[in-house]
């Protein structure tokens, strides 16, 4: 088995062992010294074909994508569509040309239909229009599932999709305004402790979310890659929801923050909850132990403190 990994410096990619590691971000970024790997533009068909012909992988984990928050998705709708379509078309086509046995590709829960009936289940992904704020990204990602399925049918190259819930861990983006809730709270808590101010949390604290530690996503992905089966999709979820209030209390505890936690109701709550089913992955790997949230937060905070100068923030 010779595995090629795309997106090797990302939140998930950085947790996965692979024989060929392909990154897109320009160095230096935290941890880049450990990456004995190549940087190339996955939108460029010739570069991708050359890479696969040269390295001849038998297995591929495809995490690379052009990603961004709400603002970036709305401002660069066309680029998000084009970049992701090209990256995915190139990677799967190059893989099947060199006879790769199996590919595991990453999708995202945000590509599901806007008016979905919860809980999210794997098979509902094509059941309606994605949200208008990110349809460029969403349709490109949905086509990745279609391409993988079509290639498995015609060429027998096995293809599985994974759909993680909110991933957190080392190498995340810890920006204060533009990141997801957990890295934002860790950074805000750090500043509140340092400056002896309140820890200000957006919204009411009532919304519920599911979180998964990046190393769990990496391990489950490798376990899925090693399975005989293909033509399947797995939402990666431990099945546990936590309120934002519960989450911030955990962060404060781990970071030994003793000040006041204030909920800023003028900021939006977003959706109340977005539960997923996650039954398929838990049935496929019944003995798998998900990292408890507190332990994952602890490891993430340790990494953040050690890499404060160089991390994305």
Catalytic annotation, residues? 137
Distance from first CA to last CA of the chain, Å, rounded?
Answer: 37
| Interaction between residue 181 and ligand GDP (CB under 6 A) | yes
Q: Which is nearer to ligand GDP, 185 or 252 (CB)?
A: 185
CB 15 within 8 A of CB 30: no
User: Of residues 42, 225, 244, 311, which one binds ligand GDP by CB under 6 A?
Assistant: 244
| Interaction between residue 199 and ligand GDP (CB under 6 A) | no
Q: Pick the stretch among 82-90, 199-207, 292-300, 303-311 that binds ligand GDP (CB under 6 A).
A: 199-207
Question: Least distance (Å) from ligand GDP to the CB of residue 313?
Answer: 13
Distance CA 213, CA 202 (A): 22
User: Of residues 35, 124, 131, 180, which one binds ligand GDP by CB under 6 A?
Assistant: 180
User: Of residues 62, 102, 209, 313, which one binds ligand GDP by CB under 6 A?
Assistant: 209
CB 230 within 8 A of CB 28: no
Residue 137, C-beta contacts closer than 8 angstroms, at least 6 positions apart: 66, 67, 73, 80, 81, 84, 110, 111
Question: Least distance (Å) from ligand GDP to the CB of residue 182?
Answer: 7
| Interaction between residue 250 and ligand GDP (CB under 6 A) | no
CB 42 within 8 A of CB 86: yes
Residues, the chain, total? 313
Question: Least distance (Å) from ligand GDP to the CB of residue 64?
Answer: 22
Footprint of ligand GDP on this chain (CB under 6 A)? 180-181, 184-185, 188, 201-203, 207, 209, 244, 267-270
């Amino acid at each position: 088995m010779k595995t090629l990994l795309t997106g090797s410096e990302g939140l998930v990619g950085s947790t996965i062992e692979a024989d060929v590691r392909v990154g897109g971000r320009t160095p230096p970024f935290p941890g880049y010294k450990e990456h004995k790997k190549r940087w190339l533009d996955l939108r460029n068909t010739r570069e991708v074909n050359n890479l696969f012909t040269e390295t001849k992988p038998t297995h591929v984990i495809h995490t690379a994508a052009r990603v961004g928050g709400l603002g970036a998705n709305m401002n660069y709708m066309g680029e998000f569509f084009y970049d992701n379509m090209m990256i995915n078309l190139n990677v799967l086509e190059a893989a099947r040309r060199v006879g790769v046995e199996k590919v595991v590709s990453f999708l995202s829960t945000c590509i599901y239909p806007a008016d979905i009936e919860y809980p999210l289940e794997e098979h509902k992904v094509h059941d309606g229009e994605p949200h208008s704020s990110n349809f460029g990204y969403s349709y490109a990602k949905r086509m990745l599932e279609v391409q993988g399925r079509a290639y498995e049918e015609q060429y027998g190259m096995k293809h599985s999709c994974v759909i993680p819930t909110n991933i957190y861990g080392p190498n995340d983006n810890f920006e204060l305004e533009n990141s997801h809730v957990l890295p934002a709270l860790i950074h805000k808590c750090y500043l509140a402790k340092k400056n002896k101010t309140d820890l200000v949390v957006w919204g009411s604290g009532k919304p519920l979310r599911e979180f998964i530690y990046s190393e769990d996503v990496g391990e489950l992905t490798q376990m899925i890659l090693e399975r005989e089966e293909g033509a399947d999709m797995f939402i990666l979820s431990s099945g546990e929801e936590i309120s934002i209030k519960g989450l911030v209390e955990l962060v404060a505890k781990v970071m030994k923050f003793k000040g006041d936690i204030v909920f800023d109701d003028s900021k939006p709550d977003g959706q109340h909850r977005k539960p997923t089913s996650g039954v398929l992955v838990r049935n496929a790997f019944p003995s798998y132990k998900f990292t408890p949230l507190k332990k994952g937060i602890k490891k993430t905070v340790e990494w953040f403190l050690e890499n404060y100068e160089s991390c994305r923030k």
